[in-house]
Structure formats: structure tokens, C-alpha cells
A and B are shown apart, each in its own frame.
Chain A
Amino acid sequence: MPERLMIGTRIRERRVLGGIRQSDLARQAGISPSYLNLIEHNRRRIGGKTLLKLAEVLNVEPALLSEGAEATLIAGLREAAGEQDGIGAELSRIEEFAGRFPGWAKLLADLYRRNEALERTIETLTDRLAHDPFLADSLHEVISAVTAIRSTSSILVETEALEPEWQNRFHRNINEDSSRLTEGAQSLVRYLEGAPNMDAEIKSPQDEMHAFLAARGFHFPELERDIAGPRDVTRLIEGAGATLSSPAQSLARDVLLRYLTDARSLPLESLLDWIASLGLHPGRLAEASGVDLATLFRRLAAMPEEAVGPVGLVICDASGSLVFRKPFEGFAMPRIAGACTLWPLFQVLAQPQTPLRMRLKQVGRGTETVEALAVSAQVIAPSFDRPALMQAHMLLLPDRPDADTEAVALREVGVNCRICSLASCVARREPSIISDGF
């Protein structure tokens, strides 16, 4: 339907929206109801004074009736229809659709554009996976080692009366290839985990926010001052410039505002004094300072490393999504979700306000152990129309062989199931690419 004829449809829509009867509009515009009826059904051309008068009575810009606000919308709809040839969208009625149902039309056009953006993202990620040279090299190395092991071990099993010289040779080859396989698999795991290397390519707003915090060592002297306030948070965010997208700015703002509140509850100087007198013992520090454990954990993670040594922190919400990660050498964390459910972080979600202390060893990461202290706390109180918002905190400290930690239980945990080689884990959610394939 031609654009000029759509004026009538727009007039009718505006009139109905305004709750005006056709006869009333006709009377106020100085035309007969039957003539207005013909206009509204796009059977009469309209322009000049009549259009101006109708626009005035309907209280809209005349251009909105004559041109419509739909030019871009119609272009978007045409684009969407063009991509869906087989569906049979009525292209000849596209302007009528946009004119009569502008909200639905906008929704459709927006969804199409969103779909296009998502498809581009998928293509980029797929392309990256397919052409990432490091990934390709690592996988090639792993597959080559697996091939050699499979072929050689088959020979050892299937060849009857294999000469000792050959046996020794093939045993040695399997040993060499299994070492290569281990290195290749570990290299892949490190790469896929992307932690604790915070310089790795940034993808999500959460990653951007964490990279911003990591660049500052998770410590912000600007927010430690007595006179610090929300304006300092705004300045810090603005100072980050283009490194933070709008969604990442929002996440960073929330984290820094909480930092500000925490710093007021437990100022840096006081905390460092407590640490100097009591040592880095969170239980004693919380008792002496009077703050709750979750706040203390966040404050310890915000201290400069040169003052307190390495301190890691991971926070999750009740769904198990990791909302905050301060990396800790020797303890890998997945980016957002899917972490090992054996972490005490998740255990404390089921026992609010009851802290848990444990020594952890991550499978496949050598013999290093870390001290983990976890507590779950209410962040937002419940109401009649919403549940309480809970978050669990897990502080990570170097495992100190002292009298206190000797008695603490040691638990073997993973990073996430996909890359965990723990063979008989009761908590396994999905098969591992490490243990099952090889």
C-alpha cells in the first residue's frame, strides 16, 4: 500500500488512541463524518488544510500523520522480511502493519536487529575457535600424542610374542607421549580457564569489570580516605574511559560503592593494625574488629598485596554464579558459572551464617594447597514479595603449616567438571574432556 494512502490509517489510529469518536473529529475538523470515514480507510487523498486541522484536533505534528514515524521501522521490517523468504510475510501490507501496530512492528524490527547482532557474535566466536592458532596447535599436539599412544598400546596388547627389544621401545614411546599429552592437556586447560591471566582477551562486561579491578590490584586508595564518597567512585569509573563498556561500568560502580561502605566499616589503618597484632587470621580479626566475616573477607581482598601478601576472593550468588573473582595463584576459577560444586563456597549457601574453613587442593594442579574460608550472608533482607538475597564469600589464603591449619580438613576439588580429572567424583555434572577421552 503506497505511503500517501497510509495517512488515513494513522489518523484512525490516533483518533482511536485518543478515544475520539469519528463524528466528533469530523465535526471539529470541519468535514463530514462520511468524508472522514473515506479518509480513514485510505480511500481519499488528504493534504493541505484538512490535514493540518485534523492534526491540530488530534494534537499531533502534521508530519507524523503525513510521513509517519515509521520510515526507519518499515526499512527494518523489510530487512527482516527479506531474510525470511519462505515464511510468506505480506510485504505489500508492510506499511499498513507498521501504521496500525507500531509497537508490535518496532518489537519485530528490534528483535530482528538483535538476532542479527547475536548471529555476528556467534560467527566471531566460532571463527575464533576455528582459527585460534594457539588452540589449533595445542589440540594438534594432544591428538598426535593420543594417536601415538593408542597405536603403540594396541601393538603391545595385540602382538603375540613381541620381542623384548620392541616391548621396551614401545613402553618408552608411551611414556614419552603420555608426558607430551599431559603438557598439552595442561596447556589447553590453562588457556581455556583464562585465569589467573587477567590480560587475556576481554569478552563480557564481567570480564571487563574484573580486568579494571585487576589493573588496580583490587585496591583503591581513593576510596580509603576518610572523606571518600560516591563522587570518587564516579571519578574512578570515568577515569577508566573506554576500557569499561556501559554494562561493565554499572558492575564496577556496584563493586566500588560496596568497597566504599566496607572501607568505612573497617578503615585500612585499623585493619592493618589488627593484622600486625593478630596476624592474618580472619576469625580473630573479625572478632577483634567487630565486622561480619563477609565484610572482613572483602576488606582483606582489598588490601595492597605488599601489606598482607596474596589474598584471593570469590563471591557467588544463590544460583552459584560467580559475581566476583580476585584470582589466587594456585587456585583456578572459571569465568562465571559451572565451578566445582565441592568448593566450600557452595556448601555455605546451605548453612547461612555458619562459616567453614578448609584446606583445598585442586586436582591436576600439582601438590599446592590453599586455605579456604567461606561464609554465606544475607545481602538484601527478605520481604513479602521477594526472598532474601544471599551471597557466599570464599577467602583464599596461602596454606600456612601452623598449629591452626594442621587440624583443618583437606579436600580435593576441581575447577569445573569439564576439565577435571577426578575419576570418582560424586558431584560430577558432566563428563570431563580430560579423564574420559584419554
Chain B
Amino acid sequence: MGKKVLLIEDEPNIIEAVSFILSRDGWEVKTHSNGHDAMQVVRMRAPDLIILDAMLPGKSGFDILTEIRGDAALGATPVLMLTARGQTKDREQAERAGVSQYMTKPFSNADVLAAVRALVTP
């Protein structure tokens, strides 16, 4: 069984594409598509890596990231943030909240795969 990746993203076709490429690379991918109960899912799944969209219905990715970093059990989990917001202030906000890596949309599959491999030690 591969390492667990939790993908929190609200666009169904992005979920499907990213899940496909990660699954084919041997990762066990779980998905979730809204922000307001994302923390419950993170606690339940206890993933090795979280891929987090910045703009989610219910709660923003930035708020979720802050909560993850404030949680003793989950605080060290690597978080790759995917966002359509490429402005410097958004990147700075993500860095302040403790993002492990920040990637703007549209991204290439190869970059996502490389980032995931780099963030999780086998």
C-alpha cells in the first residue's frame, strides 16, 4: 500500500485528473471537496500529504492550513497548496500559514507529481 495523499479540491475534473496521476504513481489517494468539514476528514484520514485548494466552499484553504499547523497531531503533515491566486500576497499568506509548497494553477502533472514525491519521504 502506498503512502496516503488527501486531495481537498472542489473541481471534480481536477480531482479526477490529479487522483489518476497520483494513483498511477502508486499513491493511495483520498479526496474531499469542501472546506467546512475538511478538518474532520484530515483528522480521520491522517494522510502523509495534503494537497489543498486555496478557494474552497465553506472555508478557505488558508484557514484550513492554519488549523492543521495548530494541531499537535497533524502540524507536521506536508501541505501542497494549489491555487488559482498567483499574487505575491497570496503566496505570502500561504507561507505565513506554514505551507510546504505553493503551486499556481494551471499546473503541469509532472510538477505536481515531482512536488508530491519531494514532500513525502518514502
Chain A positions within 8 Å of B, measured between CB atoms, are 130, 139-140, 143-144, 146-148, 150-152, 154-155, 158-159, 166, 169-170, 173, 176-177
Contact = CB atoms under 8 A, between A and B. Distances in A.
Contacts of A140: 55, 84
Contacts of B16: 152, 169-170, 173
B1 interface: no
Contacts of A146: 105-106
A151 B84 contact: no
Given A139-B84, A159-B24, A144 B17 contact: no
Nearest to A140: B84
Nearest to A143: B84
B106 A143 contact: yes
B107 A151 contact: yes
B38 interface: no
Nearest to B18: A151
Nearest to A438: B106
Given A154-B109, A158-B109, A147 B84 contact: yes
Chain A, interface SS category: helix
Contacts, number: 54
Contacts of B13: 148, 152, 173, 176-177
Most chain B beta carbons < 10 A, residue from A143, A144, A169, A173 = A144
12 contacts: A130-B87, A139-B84, A140-B84, A143-B105, A144-B105, A147-B106, A148-B11, A151-B106, A151-B107, A154-B109, A159-B24, A176-B13
Contacts of B87: 130
Contacts of B18: 151
Contacts of B108: 150, 154
Most chain B beta carbons < 10 A, residue from A143, A147, A169 = A147
A154 B108 CA distance: 8
Given A147-B14, A148-B17, A173-B17, A155 B109 contact: yes
B119 interface: no
Most chain A beta carbons < 10 A, residue from B24, B106, B109 = B106
Contact of A147 (B11, B24, B55, B110): B11
Given A143-B105, A159-B24, A151 B55 contact: no
A130 B16 CA distance: 30
B102 to A, nearest CB: 15
A170 B108 CA distance: 16
A151 B109 contact: yes
Most chain B beta carbons < 10 A, residue from A152, A158, A166, A169 = A152
A323 B64 CA distance: 52
Contacts of B17: 148, 151-152, 155, 170, 173
B21 A155 contact: yes
Given A139-B84, A166-B20, A173-B16, 11 more contacts: A140-B55, A140-B84, A147-B106, A150-B106, A150-B107, A151-B17, A151-B18, A152-B13, A155-B20, A155-B21, A176-B13
A94 to B, nearest CB: 38
Contacts of A151: 14, 17-18, 21, 106-107, 109
A152 B20 CA distance: 9
Contacts of A147: 11, 14, 84, 105-107
Contacts of B55: 140
Contacts of B24: 159
A152 B108 CA distance: 10
Nearest to A144: B11
A158 to B, nearest CB: 7
Contacts of A154: 108-110
9 shortest interchain CB distances as A-B pairs? A151-B17, A148-B13, A143-B84, A147-B106, A147-B105, A173-B13, A150-B106, A152-B17, A146-B106
Nearest to B105: A147
A148 B18 CA distance: 9
B84 A144 contact: yes
Contacts of A170: 16-17
A173 B11 CA distance: 11
Interface in B1-57: 11, 13-14, 16-18, 20-21, 24, 55
Interface string B103-122: 00111111000000000000
Contacts of A152: 13, 16-17
A139 B55 CA distance: 12
Nearest to A130: B87
A157 to B, nearest CB: 10
A370 B50 CA distance: 54
Nearest to B106: A147
A146 B24 CA distance: 22
A152 B16 CA distance: 8
Contacts of B21: 151, 155
B62 to A, nearest CB: 15
B19 to A, nearest CB: 10
A343 B105 CA distance: 37
